Amino acid sequence: MENGNSSGDNKSSRKPIRCKAAVSRKAGEPLVMEEIMVAPPQPYEVRIRIICTALCHSDVTFWKLQVPPACFPRILGHEAIGVVESVGENVKEVVEGDTVLPTFMPDCGECVDCKSQKSNLCSKFPFKVSPWMPRYENSSRFTDLNGQTLFHFLNVSSFSEYTVLDVANIVKIDSSIPPSRACLLSCGVSTGVGAAWETAKVEQGSTVVIFGLGSIGLAVAEGARLCGASRIIGVDINPAKFQVGQNFGITEFVNSMTCEKKSVSEVINEMTGGGADYCFECVGSSSLVQEAYACCRQGWGKTITLGVDKPGSQICLDSFDVLHHGKILMGSLFGGLKAKTHIPLLLKRYLSNELELDKFVTHEMKFEEINDAFQLLLEGKCIRCVLWMG
């Protein structure tokens, strides 16, 4: 057994590591900071030491959730950066000491879908909120000190000083990039920017409407700005979000609570003279998806849904509207990005001062302060809070 100061040599890589983790033991209750055991990587797996991890609303969603796919005890967290501590057999693309971004979306590079330019959905490892390692069903790399199994989360589980990932869920990056900025591309910023850039393919001079100005919505605005959209209209119930949104390219704002007798879609249709070119739903509400679809322009309008709604939620659309108005409705996981291809491109745009990552980080705290960070996120007081290990 090794403690968290393992050097990662061949001898120690065969042994479990004892380290700190923030464990979610019951829905909605504070995470428990405790020592756990992290098993060595199996074939096609890597064990990494987390440098820092950021909080995402998906972590909050599954922390609160009391029905499947929720399960406890679990190690949440999926937006992070780390250093490879050890590798299992058959791992060729990284070695010990490499800096990597974990990603919840697999990119195996081998299946028909991963080889295609049309999709980022891997068919070898279909996306699912599984409590296990993707290549080994019913297999976890985490146990507590009593031997109880701790479940994985979104193929990452970054609320731990060490974690184990499949090689399909890591991207090697330049170690000189600031960790607190690079980690944002592990999930949130990539999801929003990618939705505008890769999924919707926002055109220069177009009109964009974004429902929900949380971190994902602001990332969509950043992506739309990079694509050259001329009007970026933000929709939210919090008027303070407009001032924040202006830093990300928001040009106009609609408070959905003050539309009087009109629906939000009616207000947007009036503002845009018949509907926006692109609408993005970033909250996770089926009713908002319907509103977004209702105010994207007939003939070519696209509605992209990114928000995570409750399991079993359904979207109801008028069949006449679907048939006669020629609109497009599509979902977007991880912004439609292929992690191993597109994350390096986004990092280049950051290094060339095109993609602005600094403005997303509003708080930086110690890992031990994770419950305080959760509270900031719940109260809407942060965009991204980065938690530093060690």
pLDDT digits (tens, 9 = 90+) for 71-93: 999 999 999 999 999 999 999 99
**Together in a domain, 97 and 113:** yes
Q: Nearest-CA neighbor of 303 among 197, 198, 190, 200?
A: 200
> One digit per residue, pLDDT tens: the chain, 390 residues?
666 644 344 444 579 999 999 999 999 999 999 999 999 999 999 999 999 999 999 999 999 999 999 999 999 999 999 999 999 999 999 999 999 999 999 999 999 999 999 999 999 999 999 999 999 989 999 999 999 999 999 999 999 999 999 999 999 999 999 999 999 999 999 999 999 999 999 999 999 999 999 999 999 999 999 999 999 999 999 999 999 999 999 999 999 999 888 999 999 999 999 999 999 999 999 999 999 999 999 999 999 999 888 778 899 998 998 999 999 999 999 999 999 999 999 999 999 999 999 999 999 999 999 999 999 999 989 999 999 998
CATH number at residue 72: 3.90.180.10
Establish if 12 belongs to a structural domain. no
CB atoms near residue 92 (< 10 Å):
8
Q: Where are the alpha helices (DSSP H) in 258-318?
A: 264-272, 286-294
Establish if 6 belongs to a structural domain. no
**Together in a domain, 178 and 195:** no
- Distance from C-alpha of 87 to C-alpha of 230, rounded to nearest angstrom: 47
**Together in a domain, 219 and 303:** yes
Q: State residue 150's pLDDT score.
A: 98
Establish if 26 belongs to a structural domain. yes
- Distance from C-alpha of 246 to C-alpha of 274, rounded to nearest angstrom: 24
Establish if 138 belongs to a structural domain. yes
Domain count for the chain, please give it.
2
Residues 6+ apart with CB under 8 A from 7: none
Establish if 343 belongs to a structural domain. no
Q: State residue 4's pLDDT score.
A: 61
**Together in a domain, 135 and 223:** no
Query: 326-352, pLDDT tens digit by residue?
Result: 999 999 999 999 999 999 999 999 999
**Together in a domain, 363 and 292:** no
Q: State residue 11's pLDDT score.
A: 47
Q: State residue 295's pLDDT score.
A: 97
- Distance from C-alpha of 267 to C-alpha of 371, rounded to nearest angstrom: 39
Residue 2 phi, psi (nearest 5) = -120, 150
- Residue labelled with tokens 């031997």: 147
CATH number at residue 265: 3.40.50.720
Can you give the C-alpha Rg of the chain in angstroms? 21
Q: State residue 313's pLDDT score.
A: 87
Q: State residue 309's pLDDT score.
A: 82
Q: State residue 308's pLDDT score.
A: 82
Establish if 74 belongs to a structural domain. yes
Q: List b or e across 307-328, with b for residues whose CB sees 16 or more CB atoms inside 10 angstroms.
A: bbbeeeeeeeeeeeeeeebebe
**Together in a domain, 194 and 289:** yes
Establish if 3 belongs to a structural domain. no
Q: State residue 390's pLDDT score.
A: 84
Q: State residue 3's pLDDT score.
A: 67
DSSP SS3 for 233: strand
**Together in a domain, 31 and 155:** yes
**Together in a domain, 171 and 205:** no
**Together in a domain, 284 and 145:** no
Q: Where are the alpha helices (DSSP H) in 247-338?
A: 264-272, 286-294, 319-325
Query: 242-286, pLDDT tens digit by residue?
Result: 999 999 999 999 999 998 889 999 999 999 999 999 999 999 999
**Together in a domain, 151 and 272:** no
**Together in a domain, 178 and 39:** yes
Q: State residue 218's pLDDT score.
A: 98
Q: Using CB atoms within 10 A of its CB, is residue 102 exposed (0-12), middle (13-18) or buried (19+)?
A: buried
**Together in a domain, 315 and 367:** no
Establish if 341 belongs to a structural domain. no
Count of residues in the chain: 390
By residue range, what is the domain housing residue 243?
189-335
